[in-house]
């Protein structure tokens, strides 16, 4: 067993602080990774503060982080996909049962017995899994992903969650050249949605409540920007969208966007509002419209997404911070004070 430097929270009201955690020695199918960057996802904050206690109670101490990129330092004797020095990533999953129909179909993210990167039962060491706010991690090679050599590693880190969360539903619902795609909300998820929709060849429209985000939305690849509080501007797009990605986690009127879908159009929720959204049956019925949700992606699709990013030079817009500023970053995250994702430089752990 090895020890690793990390940042953890001891209780739901504790700040994240320096600690040491155990990591298993690499087994024959394992890859040991030096973590170089880890993105900060809003779910990290929810978990640290036990805000999802009803369906995913936090076990303390918690080491969050599931947007991990780094370099391979050691591989087990049976590993065939990776070698020391390779650039790799680890997302939200580090294991699954591998035998259920979903796993067999490459949809490990829907496995009923999946192991999350942090706060899941750890079958190797006992206790729970510890995430990427750490200087190293050991993961079965099946759950390790190859990061294209041309991508900036700090910007690539959020691809392991924010990237696949927005890419997967677009691929599932057939976003291609000639489609009209809406993206609701220009934050950590939304800005990735804009980049993917544009790269897939769609006509991209961003919906925002903040007029000052117009310039940035256009810079990221949007063709048009609609201020959603402007009823006339919304009405001009009624019944015209093939697909809308809703990345808003706050309460909002989802019917306003369902009404913008054309016949058989789809609106996919990837934001997770705390309270249920009211949906008008008539909004769906009158246009045979679809309302769906999506949750990250399986391992094959996540690798496909990373390869796509390599081909199109897509990364997340990040602000790189040292780990010592992680608590400040959490407070800023609550205020949406970041464009558009924080990435922790884990070299900063060396000074701890």
Given a contact cutoff of 8 angstroms between Cβ atoms, the answer to whether 241 and 266 are in contact is no
Rounded CA-CA distance 329/343 in Å is 10
pLDDT tens sequence across 100-113: 999 999 999 999 99
| Locus of tokens 């602000």 | 319
The pLDDT of 243-253, averaged and rounded, is: 94
27, 37, 254, 255 from 281: Cα distances, Å: 53, 44, 12, 9
Q: pTM, whole model, 2 decimals?
A: 0.96
pLDDT score of 182 more than 80 = yes
Q: Residue 150 half-sphere exposure, CB side, CA atoms within 13 Å?
A: 9
Rounded CA-CA distance 202/182 in Å is 10
Rounded CA-CA distance 243/262 in Å is 9
Tell me what the pLDDT averaged over the chain comes to: 96
pLDDT tens sequence across 112-140: 999 999 999 999 999 999 999 999 999 99
Spans of all domains in the chain = 2-161+297-306+316-351, 163-293
pLDDT for position 54? 84
DSSP state of 289: -
Of 291, 285, 288, which is closest to residue 246 (Cα–Cα)?
291
For residue 195, give the 3-state DSSP assignment: helix
pLDDT tens sequence across 255-291: 999 999 999 999 999 998 878 899 999 999 999 999 9
pLDDT for position 352? 83
**Please, which pLDDT band fits residue 228 given cuts at 50, 70 and 90?**
very high
Task: Using DSSP bridges, classify how beta strands 261-269 and 203-208 pair: parallel, antiparallel or unpaired.
Answer: unpaired
What are the tokens at 91? 């997302």
Q: How far is CA 247 from the centre of its chain?
A: 11
Given a contact cutoff of 8 angstroms between Cβ atoms, the answer to whether 315 and 341 are in contact is no
pLDDT score of 97 more than 90 = yes
Q: Which letter, b or e, does each residue of 88-101 get, where b requires 16 or more Cβ atoms within 10 Å of its Cβ?
A: bbbbbbbbbeeebe
Strand partners for 4:
21
Strand partners for 227:
208
pLDDT for position 310? 98
pLDDT for position 4? 96
Rounded CA-CA distance 210/147 in Å is 34
DSSP state of 202: -
The pLDDT of 18-45, averaged and rounded, is: 97
CATH class label, 2-161+297-306+316-351 = alpha beta
The pLDDT of 335-342, averaged and rounded, is: 93
Strand partners for 8:
17
Rounded CA-CA distance 188/40 in Å is 10
pLDDT for position 351? 87
pLDDT for position 331? 96
Q: For the chain, give the percent of residues with pLDDT over 70.
A: 100
**Please, which pLDDT band fits residue 55 given cuts at 50, 70 and 90?**
confident
The pLDDT of 291-303, averaged and rounded, is: 97
pLDDT for position 275? 85
DSSP state of 306: H
**CATH architecture for the domain at 163-293:** 3-Layer(aba) Sandwich (3.40)
Task: Using DSSP bridges, classify how beta strands 224-227 and 203-208 pair: parallel, antiparallel or unpaired.
Answer: parallel
The pLDDT of 26-34, averaged and rounded, is: 97
pLDDT for position 183? 98
Tally Cβ neighbours within 10 Å of residue 325.
Answer: 15
207, 262, 266, 267, 271 from 284: Cα distances, Å: 20, 11, 10, 10, 20
Q: Based on DSSP, count helices (H) and strands (E) in the chain, helices before strands.
A: 11, 17
**Please, which pLDDT band fits residue 52 given cuts at 50, 70 and 90?**
confident
């Amino acid at each position: 067993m090895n020890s690793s430097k990390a940042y953890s929270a001891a209780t739901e009201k504790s700040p994240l602080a320096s600690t040491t955690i155990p990591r298993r020695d690499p087994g024959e199918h394992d890859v040991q990774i030096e973590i170089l960057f880890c993105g900060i996802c809003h779910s990290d904050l929810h978990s640290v503060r036990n805000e999802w206690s009803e369906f995913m109670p936090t076990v303390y101490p918690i080491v969050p982080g599931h947007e991990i990129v780094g370099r391979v330092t050691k591989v087990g004797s049976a590993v065939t996909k990776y070698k020391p020095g390779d650039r790799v990533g680890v997302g939200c999953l580090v294991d699954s049962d591998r035998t259920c129909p979903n796993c067999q179909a490459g949809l490990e993210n829907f496995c009923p017995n999946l192991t999350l990167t942090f706060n899941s039962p750890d079958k190797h060491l006992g206790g729970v899994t510890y995430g990427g706010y750490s200087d190293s991690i050991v993961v079965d090679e099946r759950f390790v992903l190859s990061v294209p050599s041309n991508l900036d590693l700090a910007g690539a880190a959020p691809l392991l969650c924010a990237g696949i969360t927005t890419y997967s539903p677009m691929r599932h619902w057939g976003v291609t050249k000639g489609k009209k795609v809406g993206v609701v909300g220009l934050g950590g998820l939304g800005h990735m949605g804009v980049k993917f929709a544009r790269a897939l060849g769609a006509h991209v429209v961003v919906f925002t409540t903040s007029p000052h985000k117009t310039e940035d939305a256009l810079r990221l690849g949007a063709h048009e920007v609609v201020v959603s509080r402007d009823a006339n501007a919304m009405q001009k797009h009624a019944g015209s969208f093939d697909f809308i990605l809703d990345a808003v986690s706050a309460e909002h009127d989802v019917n306003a966007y369902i009404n913008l879908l054309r016949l058989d159009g789809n609106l996919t929720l990837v934001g997770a509002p705390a309270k249920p959204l009211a949906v008008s049956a008539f909004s769906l019925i009158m246009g045979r419209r679809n309302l769906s949700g999506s949750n990250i992606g399986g391992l094959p699709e996540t690798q496909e997404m990373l390869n796509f990013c390599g081909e199109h030079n897509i990364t997340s817009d990040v602000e790189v911070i040292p780990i010592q500023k992680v608590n400040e970053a959490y407070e800023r995250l609550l205020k949406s004070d970041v464009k558009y994702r924080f990435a922790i430089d884990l070299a900063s752990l060396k000074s701890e």
